[in-house]
Amino acid sequence: MEYNEIFQGLPNKWGFKQNPYTTKELKDDEVADLFIGRRDEKFKFFRMIESGTDAFCIGGDFGIGKSSFFNRCTYEIKEVRSDFIIGSTIKVVETKSVENFLKDILEVVIEEIEPHINELSDDAKNTVEEIKGTYNITEGSTETIEGKTPIIPIFSRGHARHKSKSIQKSDTSELPNKVIRRLEELSNIISGELNMKFIISLNNLEKAKIKEKGKVLNLIENLRDLIFTHYFFVFIGDENLREWFETRGRLRSVIGNTIKIGPLTMDEFKQAVKARLDYNAQCLFSLESDYRQYLKEGNIDNKLKKEFEHNKEFLSNEAKVFKTDKTTWGIVDGRRRYRIKDAEANLDIYDLQYTVPFDDDIMEYVYKRIRGDIRWAFNLLHMMFQEIINKEKEIRTYSITDETIKHIICDMAKMRYGSLEDSEKNIIDKLAKIDSASPSDENFQEMCNRSQPTLQKILTKLAKQPELIAKTTEGRKHKYELGYEMKILKEEKPDWFEG
């Protein structure tokens, strides 16, 4: 047997098709199955869209679920509305010029208009084709990460995208206005001929990720006139994003309020964990789509029951079926639970009688240390489960009191600490001796034997990994403290850090 086959088979012993602790941003059907909570925030999102707020922000800390929240909202819009076009999310990483920034937006708009091309008049079709030719937009030309997500490089060298023979060097100073006019033309087509509205989202606008903030504001400032057309702009970043935009007069009056995404509650976090376990349960068998007619709430239809028996799954007369959402059903039979997923071509039956890898006390231990960063929480659980598979190979539910679990958590923290440079370790060692500190604190400078600018530079770098260092604010003063994993290491191994 190949190593990969053995590796893939290990989670099956717990009753999962794969490591169940999904860490990635939720998209598409995963949003429907795994997204938990945020009811009030979703109401605010839809209210802003309905009220005609053409530009607003979604703000929150690292890993708190802003992108998944946006994906859930747009998923619900697509489920109930046919008058919205949802563009691929644009992740702002680095960019060279205003021209490329606007042309990336142009690509996203063209990409989403293409499926509607046959609904357009000949003049509108010609306009779309002309724009594609002018800016060299071809099918598949948009660069992607995890699907159709264009990356806007900011001020990178040698950026050579969107070359077009029809654009001469002498015209480059006019390019921003030309692209904006083209986007306005497309807006009129979207509104007039398709009778639709277009939602454009720009992500990764956390200020800590952006080196040249002023230049990024220059880029976004170019979108001002488009906000007054038929586009909705959603900016995703930290919770102070709107205040950052307000430093520019042209943006101050056009950006709506921020929908602030706060931490999940403990109960919501546990629900999110359970949703992932259910979602990754093993598929027992599949039925042809014709059996959809026998899925009626209440008692199990005899034809459905016979198919279960045929696959060696026996349902009692007490078994009940119920609908959980548009494409998912559940069956409860005493302590037995099943999940039925309508996959269009067939119905997939999942067994929910898996072994839960971690007890509630581990969920509480992790939750109390994550500061709302659910992405890190699932990453930690993902790595913990992987380590159990690799080392223990024992099928049981683990508790935080198990020495194995404490050992795994500390080992991961030690590995992260060990990967740092000596100057970075030194600062973490000193922070482990105190609760928090600011680079402007003279005592902290003396402890670290570093000047304020040097301290600030190292702390800013470390704070990009909240597992290492967390940035806090007291009034107008920024302070730093140990991040999630370093706090665990200090708590479990207080003598680990050097003097």
In this prediction, residue 174 carries a pLDDT of 64
In this prediction, residue 170 carries a pLDDT of 33
CATH number of 360-492: 1.10.10.10
pLDDT one-digit tens code per residue, 17-28: 888 997 888 887
In this prediction, residue 154 carries a pLDDT of 40
The three-state secondary structure class of 173 is: helix
CB atoms within 10 A of CB 355: 12
**Residue 204, Ramachandran bin (φ over 0: left; ψ between -120 and 50: alpha; else beta):** left
Alpha carbons 122 and 126: distance in angstroms, whole number: 6
Same fold, 38-260 and 360-492: no
Name the class of domain 38-260.
alpha beta
Q: Which residues lie closer than 8 Å to 201 by C-beta, 6 or more apart?
A: 70, 87, 89, 90, 233, 234, 235, 236
> What single-letter amino acid sits at 25?
E
In this prediction, residue 411 carries a pLDDT of 85
pLDDT one-digit tens code per residue, 182-237: 899 999 999 999 999 999 999 888 776 677 777 788 888 888 888 888 889 999 98
In this prediction, residue 167 carries a pLDDT of 34
pLDDT one-digit tens code per residue, 358-413: 999 999 989 988 878 898 899 889 988 988 888 766 788 999 888 888 888 888 88
List the chain pLDDT tens, one digit each, 499 residues: 343 444 455 577 888 988 899 788 888 778 888 899 899 999 999 999 888 778 899 999 888 999 999 999 999 998 888 899 999 888 876 555 777 788 888 899 999 999 999 999 999 999 999 888 888 776 654 443 334 444 444 433 233 333 333 333 334 346 678 888 889 999 999 999 999 999 999 988 877 667 777 778 888 888 888 888 888 999 998 888 888 888 888 888 888 889 999 999 999 999 999 999 999 998 888 988 888 888 888 888 888 888 888 888 888 888 888 888 778 888 898 888 898 888 888 889 898 888 999 999 999 989 988 878 898 899 889 988 988 888 766 788 999 888 888 888 888 888 888 898 998 988 888 888 888 888 888 888 888 888 988 988 898 888 888 888 888 776 667 788 888 888 888 888 887 776 4
Q: Is 127 exposed, middle or buried (0-12, 13-18, 19+ CB in 10 A)?
A: middle
The domain limits of the chain are 3-16+266-351, 38-260, 360-492
Alpha carbons 110 and 112: distance in angstroms, whole number: 5
CB atoms within 10 A of CB 363: 20
Q: Could you give the dihedral angle defined by the CA atoms of residues 436, 439, 442 and 447, in that order, rounded to the nearest 10 degrees?
A: 70
In this prediction, residue 266 carries a pLDDT of 93
Q: 198-225 b/e with 16+ CB inside 10 Å = b?
A: bbbbbbbbbeeebeeeeebbebbebbbe
pTM as predicted: 0.82
Contacts 24+ apart (CB under 8 A), 318-325: 321/295, 321/296, 321/297, 322/297, 323/295, 323/297, 325/32, 325/33
CB atoms within 10 A of CB 294: 16
Residue where the block lists tokens 């009056």: 253
Q: Which alpha helices (H) appear in 144-279, and where do they start and end? A: 175-192, 213-221, 224-227, 241-245, 249-252, 266-279
pLDDT one-digit tens code per residue, 278-290: 999 988 889 888 8
In this prediction, residue 146 carries a pLDDT of 38
